[in-house]
Structure 1
Amino acid sequence: MTQAEADAPDGLWLFDGVCNICSGSVAAVLKLDREGVIRFTPIQSPYGRQLAAAHGIDPDNPASFLFLDHGQALEKTAAIGALLRLLKAPWRWLALVDRLPRGPADAAYDWLAANRYRLMGKKAACMVPSPADRARFILDLPAE
């Protein structure tokens, strides 16, 4: 593990804050993760842009979300599986998605990601968390 991986936040979801599918998924996880294990940063935030660039994702045209889990930055179905494993049953059982053959599963993910705005639309501005959920969102660069 590199030093960057060791310093990476754990349980952090980097998502497209203007994507309706992404924002809806975040809203669902906020309701399902009552313990607050999963945290969030929109790719449009200063911290999100930094994380995206550090992991080879174009912050202005993201093709995937990232989930930082145990020092690893995961994408696509691997990220979905790791995120779901942190939820309580029965939702964690859906983590089996990352046991599907990676090629076809990631190809389906790529298709959905490429068509997400056409299928479900796009917000004019990044989602704003409720005051109750605000502490679970990281927007600014960490202090050094």
Structure 2
Amino acid sequence: MNDIYILLYDGECGFCNYWVNWVMRNDKKGVINFASLQGDFGQNFLSKNNLPLDKFNTLYLIHPNGKTYKKSDAILKIGSLLKGWYKWFGIFKIIPKVIRDKIYDLVAKNRKHIRTDNCTLPTKEQRARFIN
């Protein structure tokens, strides 16, 4: 399948891992693969884009054509890819990006203090969707 998006996330953040698992469970068509920002793929992405190699507070979603979504734009795009009622995430586009990203930054700043009790191991099929 050529239309695979890649979601880059902080692989050492429990909150981020919780949401990666959530996306994986809800991505019925398997159009999103995953890579941690700390891994080779993530570090290469950060390096190529002249981004800090040690700051992992931004979520990136790479479109198959190379376009990159980040922060709240990435979340809204993920919602549109998941279909179902999640496609309605797009309604939040009416909120100016500067405000959406301020909210995103507030959550990102506090994400390591947000308790998540869900720590599941991916299945063999799910593991195949992770890129090193």
Aligned to 1:106: 101
Q: Does 1:49 align with 2:69?
A: no
Q: Check 1:21–1:56 CA distance in 2 against 1; reply closer, same or farther (3 A cut).
A: farther
Aligned to 2:81: 86
Structure 2: give runs of 5+ residues left out of the alignment: none
1:26-45 equivalences in 2 (<5 Å)? 26-45=20-39
Q: Which digits, 9 at most, give the CA deviation of each residue in 1:89-120, with x for residues without a partner?
A: 11121133333111111011111111211233
Q: How far is the alpha carbon of 1:84 from its aligned partner?
A: 1.2
Q: Check 1:116–1:57 CA distance in 2 against 1; reply closer, same or farther (3 A cut).
A: farther
Q: TM-score, normalised by structure 2?
A: 0.83
Identical columns (%): 29
Structure 1: give runs of 5+ residues left out of the alignment: 1-8, 122-126, 140-144
Q: Check 1:97–1:58 CA distance in 2 against 1; reply closer, same or farther (3 A cut).
A: farther
1:111-126 equivalences in 2 (<5 Å)? 111-120=106-115
Match of 1:21 among 15, 20, 27: 15
Q: Check 1:55–1:95 CA distance in 2 against 1; reply closer, same or farther (3 A cut).
A: farther
Aligned residues of 1:57 and 1:64 also touching (Cα < 8 A): no
Q: Which amino acid aligns with 1:111?
A: L
Output the CA distance in 2 between the equivalents of 1:25 and 1:97: 19
Q: Provide runs of 4+ in structure 1 moved above 4 Å.
A: none
